[in-house]
Each structure stands twice: as C-alpha cells, then as structure tokens.
C-alpha cells in the first residue's frame, strides 16, 4: 500500500521517532509503514489520520488493481 506518511511527517518536521512516540508504536514500525513493508491495522490507521487531520484514504492509497 502506498502512503503519504513520509510527506506529511516531513511537513510537520517530525522524525520517525517522534511520530512513533505520538502513535505509541516503535520507530521500526513507522519505518516499515513508510516503506510499504507493513500495512497498519484499521485502529492504527485511524490514529494516524486523526493525528494529521486527514481522512485515512488521503494518507493510505490503495494500488489501482486493488480498488473495487
């Protein structure tokens, strides 16, 4: 899954560690989400969306072939 998380995080000037602390996850998990190696659960995706003030679908982008 593609994500705009690195871009949104950069806009706020947060490091991965800072974002991880705000979300209550490890820095490695933020790194894995940003690198597309881990798809967050729905509760975590909603926490991320609320933190950045965007809808979930504006942060996490489904590849065209997966869109119904």
Q: Is 41 one of the binding residues for another protein (CB under 8 A)?
A: yes
For 54, residues 6+ apart whose C-beta sits below 8 A from its C-beta are: 8
Q: Cα–Cα–Cα angle for 1, 58, 20, nearest 5°?
A: 70
Position among 7, 10, 12, 17 found at the interface with another protein (CB under 8 A): 17
Minimum CB separation of residue 46 from another protein in Å reads 13
Q: Is 29 one of the binding residues for another protein (CB under 8 A)?
A: yes
Enter the DSSP assignment of 3.
E
| Contact window for another protein (CB under 8 A) among 5-13, 39-47, 49-57, 59-67 | 39-47
Applying CB under 8 A, the residues found at the interface with another protein are 17, 24-29, 32, 37-38, 40-41, 44
């Amino acid at each position: 899954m593609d994500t705009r998380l690195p871009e949104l995080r950069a806009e706020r000037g947060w490091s991965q560690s800072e974002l991880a602390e705000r979300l209550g996850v490890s820095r490695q998990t933020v790194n894995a989400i940003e690198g597309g190696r881990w798809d967050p659960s729905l509760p975590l995706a909603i926490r991320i969306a609320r933190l950045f003030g965007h809808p979930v679908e504006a942060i996490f982008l489904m590849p065209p072939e997966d869109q119904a």
